[in-house]
Structure 1
């Protein structure tokens, strides 16, 4: 998953600075716009981050008697990593959307809408340009960043692109890496609903980690975090019932690679 996190880290600082300027009213575009009905609808940010609150009690349980909650605590420690990874990847683009949308979108001759947010602080300047274009039943999105004082400098760099349904309930984003020649696509985020409930996936599509796939599924009360290792072809997962508190994990380096379970009180239990 490092292939995806690198370009996000590179651009996260630009987004964070712009967001900070927006919060304190230091940007060049400080007037909150009136919603424009004709402009495309953005996806709900809550759909773009997995809900892992079930494991919030993990830290407290890990400090209790060893052995009683080993399976749950082991799952908790792995979920902490997943949570950090998804926030690292998803927080910057979601913030970039929020920053860009603070400005009034302008209609373009090709039928698209353009949001432009410019942040200036002395010799430093950054600009986020978000374009949305309704084409049939979908909206095509593109976000570019300019930060010439950055190292490396970004000049209208394509950060991510993709498309969503008109209501934003499903879609895909493709991330690019400006440090690589040609700014290739390196990762893809997808979200929506299917026969198995709501899903959110993050996949490496380039580099050493190609084929790695992280999946979050929610079909109340069942929740799953799954990982497919593109290098080995193996699949691993953590499952839990958000209603009764039971769950299990299946990972290669724990319990001999066999599924390990916990009951509704998060005590270790025999798997059914």
Structure 2
């Protein structure tokens, strides 16, 4: 083969490899980061249930037992979760303020940033990897001189954001699975989310609180199950009128609905 032909083939091969390289770089730069699951996939709405201050005006002329019992059950879960999930919740919320960066070597996306929670500074790294029709998520958190790259929660979500789950660890010292969050988004207005206790060996393992937005006269609900006593509390109410009802076999001694009116006062169920 002549030197001319060899040189021509070499030039052709070099051009081809350069084109492939440039094409690969272009594809990486044009990749679009997967959407982080909505905040409602991680954080249950406890704000929609009416504030007890709303009962002050009529406190002397009526009973608020049915609504009050419901409120106490919801607030109890909220208090425990607020204390135990402060850092992971803050880390998840902050992720929406940052852009994901693609890493071709790992074939995943990373959101890296700092945040402050409970007067302490943390480094957070959320990674997302597309696996078919779902996305695998991992959140690692570092606190200087305390712990590094602690996998605080992980999970999967559908690419179309119709649902998924999260697994949360207790804390960096215990490193024990604490909570499973399962969520569904049916439409832009209809969704639900469930927190389930999954602490190994815990007496309340299997207990859960389930919240949803649905249709009908009662368009909001909570289900609160206490595994230790095998008891379910059903709570339903209307977000606009505030009219609601509760059912709890253990507390009320029967499996009938107990209702409250738009002033949160006890009333007969219709």
Fold match, TM over 0.5?
yes
Contact map agreement 1:62 1:73 (CA 8 A) in 2 = no
Partner of 1:44: 38
Bigger relative contact order (CA 8 A; separation at least 6): 1
Q: Summarize the Cα distance change of 1:230–1:216 in structure 2 as closer, same or farther, 3 Å threshold.
A: same
1:90-239 aligned within 5 A: 92-100=87-95, 102-108=97-103, 109-118=105-114, 126-149=122-145, 153-177=146-170, 178-180=172-174, 183-193=175-185, 198-207=191-200, 208=202, 209-220=204-215, 221-239=218-236
Gaps of 5+ in 1: 1-35
Deviations 1:170-192 (A, max 9, x none): 21110113323xx3322101110
Which has the higher Rg, Structure 1 or Structure 2? 2
Deviations 1:148-170 (A, max 9, x none): 42xxx212111000011224342
CA distance in 1, matches of 2:195, 2:180: 6
Q: Summarize the Cα distance change of 1:83–1:172 in structure 2 as closer, same or farther, 3 Å threshold.
A: same
Contact map agreement 1:43 1:169 (CA 8 A) in 2 = no
- How does the TM-score come out when normalised to structure 1? 0.71
Partner of 1:24: none
Gaps of 5+ in 2: 1-29
1:76-91 aligned within 5 A: 76-88=71-83
CA distance in 1, matches of 2:107, 2:233: 44
Aligned residues: 228
Partner of 2:268: 270
Moved more, 72-81 or 157-166: 72-81
Deviations 1:198-256 (A, max 9, x none): 21000011231211111002103422111112223221121112244321122366444
CA distance in 1, matches of 2:100, 2:210: 33
Deviations 1:21-56 (A, max 9, x none): xxxxxxxxxxxxxxx861110122145434444533
CA distance in 2, matches of 1:38, 1:118: 23
CA distance in 2, matches of 1:243, 1:79: 19
Partner of 1:21: none
Q: Summarize the Cα distance change of 1:233–1:269 in structure 2 as closer, same or farther, 3 Å threshold.
A: same
Moved more, 209-218 or 91-100: 91-100
Partner of 2:4: none
- How does the TM-score come out when normalised to structure 2? 0.71
Secondary structure, in 3 states, of the residue corresponding to 2:229?
A: coil
Tell me the CA shift for residue 86 of structure 1: 4.7
What value does the CA root-mean-square deviation take over the aligned residues? 3.1
